[in-house]
Structure 1
Amino acid sequence: MKIATVGVHVLDTHVIGIESIPGGSDGQLVETIRMSAAGTAGGTALVLSRIGAEVLSFGAVGSDPIGDTLLALLAREGVDTSGLVRKDDQQTSASVIPVRPNGDRPAWHCIGANGAFTLDDLDRAALDGITHLHLGGPEFLGGEAAGELLAHARSIGATTSLDVLAPGDPDMLAWIAGALPHTDYLLPNDEQVFGFTGASSLADGARALVDAGAGCVAVTQGAKGALVVTADEVIEVPAYPIEPDRLVDTTGCGDAFSAGFLRGLSLGRDLRAAARLGCATAAQVAQGLGTDAGSYDLDTVVALAG
């Protein structure tokens, strides 16, 4: 599998042990502060590389220390970052995620360079030879430009996938609608599906997105697992149970599912088996802090998925 991951790249800073925000200028000790590569393109890229894909990342970061750190974290995992352009007038996209003892994870986020990325920043010749193109955050490009990129990927023999970062909303769906007919696999979460479509059931909402042009919709449902819908079938795959004392942080689990699902397809698995691999990959990531935590690899997630 040689995959181009295009779009949103973020540096996440996770803070474990947040009980409250101190008042005034007071301080508070926490358990852990850790940085990791994230985003619907960046996080997916890292996990894909971990599980054996050849990964080329394309997007925009700032010419700042945050960008230096993000590039180093991706490169350390074997991701080819030569397609990430540096924007001198933008900061690198970053999030701070305080994780509360009950698992809640609110976030502060700066869009930064992700909002300045355009198709002019991407050398299409660098895509030659890829087997798949994954676009994370099509809303930053708009449906017309996103569709143009996905159509180009198909023209050179690659399959395509799309993962939206923004919350589900009918206006957002209209904004990216031009990309859906060029999308083989749409990878939303359940809240996005309901928000995009207003459907009364998740399966009906996913079918509406298939009717809008997507070839297949693979929806994550948090602790419930995933639902995969095509024009011909509906497949439900449960999540893998995690003991409470092993659950660390669910940030990035959606990106991990995307990576595992797409990798499963590249290995010749059918939709159900690919979704099982996606859920197994998400379970691995949930047991660490950040997508790069621990030492999981393809053998690890295959052993869990069966």
Structure 2
Amino acid sequence: MRIAVTGSIATDHLMVFPGRFTEQLIEGQLERVSLSFLADRLEVHRGGVAANIAFGLGLLGCDPLLVGAAGTDFAEYDAWLRAAGVDTCAVRVSDTLHTARFVCTTDADQNQIATFYAGAMAEAAGIDLAESASHAGPLALVLVGADDPAAMLRHTATAHRLGIPVAADPSQQLARLDREQARALVEGATWLFTNAYEAALLLERTGWSQEDLLERAGTWITTLGADGVTLARSGTPRLHIPAVPTARTADPTGAGDAFRAGFLAGLAWQWPPEQAARLGCALATTVLESVGTQEYKLLAADLIARIGQTYGDDAARAAEPRLAGVS
């Protein structure tokens, strides 16, 4: 099962503020906010939601097709992704613009304040998914992640026209979408990804109730951080998957992308959604324990142990045959 992952490709500038953002906010003064946080640490890493998800899928041996726009500085990043097993033949490289930048500061409570500069991502709407699919071979699923909004709408429409199932993952771009755009991105999706905040924002943007949305999409997966994930589908009980615990969180950036990579890998292997979500949670915790979205290593024994310790021996045994080749 070949998966195309569309969305942003970026460089992450990650900083750590040792205090709490909330302690700097003064009641009655929020109409005009001018704050500066002195960071203790700066890390510069490769990122972007599509690249992060594709990286995880590549490490799991799923041969993902990355579809997005990058800048004139992409050569080194390109080599890194290819080495991880990502097919980058569908990446559009700008002649003039730099790769997108994500600048994020995390406080002592793991709250984050971030800014995203689009750069070459502004050219993503020029990518023809149908052409990419014709060159890369048959696609079984297209994840439409946060990207230039025009590109997200184009990829969604193309996938539906070609009869390829869509996993809708609008995430950070929900704030930029109007009602019709938000509805177009999620209606008819086989899978829908949000975190808890994005779930509420999606309902506000679409103007639909939860049941309205579930009747228009397939399975809605909501990540809840340390509380795990829920899987909801119209007419069936909501399913809750606990998170894989950790005592050494280093940086939350990229954990949601890692969950998606693990979940999509499970789908590619034709696992039931519950089993796929367990792998997603194990991968998310692995990323939580490292700084940077693509700086982690995957070991079969570690993933199997995490699954067994959290979900039981039967779950570990079910995952072992596929994970045995991960190194």
TM > 0.5 between the two? yes
Q: After TM superposition, list the pairs within 5 Å mapping 1:250-269 onto structure 2.
A: 250-269=252-271
User: How far off is 1:163 after superposition?
Assistant: 0.8
Structure 2 CA distance for aligned equivalents of residues 144 and 38 of structure 1? 18
Structure 1 CA distance for aligned equivalents of residues 161 and 125 of structure 2? 15
Q: 1:51 aligns with which of 38, 43, 60?
A: 60
Say whether the 8 Å CA contact 2:15–2:39 is kept in structure 1.
Answer: no
Q: Which protein is bigger by CA-based radius of gyration?
A: 2
**Shift in CA distance, 296/84, structure 1 to aligned 2, threshold 3 Å:** same
User: How far off is 1:126 after superposition?
Assistant: 2.4
Say whether the 8 Å CA contact 1:150–1:179 is kept in structure 2.
Answer: no
Say whether the 8 Å CA contact 2:12–2:46 is kept in structure 1.
Answer: yes
Q: 2:241 aligns with which of 228, 231, 237?
A: 237
Q: How many residues align?
A: 288
Q: 1:94 aligns with which of 94, 97, 101?
A: 101
Partner of 2:222: 219
Coordinate RMSD, CA, aligned: 3.0
Q: 1:34 aligns with which of 40, 44, 51?
A: 44
Question: Is 1:187 matched up with 2:190?
Answer: no
Structure 1: give runs of 5+ residues left out of the alignment. 21-27
Say whether the 8 Å CA contact 1:207–1:229 is kept in structure 2.
Answer: no
User: Given the two structures, how large is their TM-score scaled by the length of structure 2?
Assistant: 0.77
**Shift in CA distance, 17/261, structure 1 to aligned 2, threshold 3 Å:** same
Q: 1:165 aligns with which of 144, 160, 171?
A: 171
Letter in 2 for 1:197: L
Q: After TM superposition, list the pairs within 5 Å mapping 1:38-117 onto structure 2.
A: 38-39=48-49, 41-63=50-72, 65=73, 67-117=74-124
Q: 1:210 aligns with which of 196, 214, 228?
A: 214
User: Given the two structures, how large is their TM-score scaled by the length of structure 1?
Assistant: 0.82
**Shift in CA distance, 171/31, structure 1 to aligned 2, threshold 3 Å:** closer
Letter in 2 for 1:35: H
User: How far off is 1:144 after superposition?
Assistant: 4.9
Q: Deviations over 1:224-244 (max 9, x none)?
A: 11110111321111112111x
Structure 1 CA distance for aligned equivalents of residues 214 and 53 of structure 2? 23
Partner of 1:25: none
Partner of 1:23: none
Letter in 1 for 2:149: F
Structure 2 CA distance for aligned equivalents of residues 99 and 7 of structure 1? 23
Deviates more, 1:169-178 or 1:107-116: 169-178
**Shift in CA distance, 84/170, structure 1 to aligned 2, threshold 3 Å:** closer
The 3-state SS of whatever aligns with 1:166 is helix
Structure 1 CA distance for aligned equivalents of residues 11 and 147 of structure 2? 19
Say whether the 8 Å CA contact 2:121–2:147 is kept in structure 1.
Answer: no
Letter in 2 for 1:230: R
Say whether the 8 Å CA contact 2:218–2:233 is kept in structure 1.
Answer: yes
Deviates more, 1:216-225 or 1:293-302: 293-302
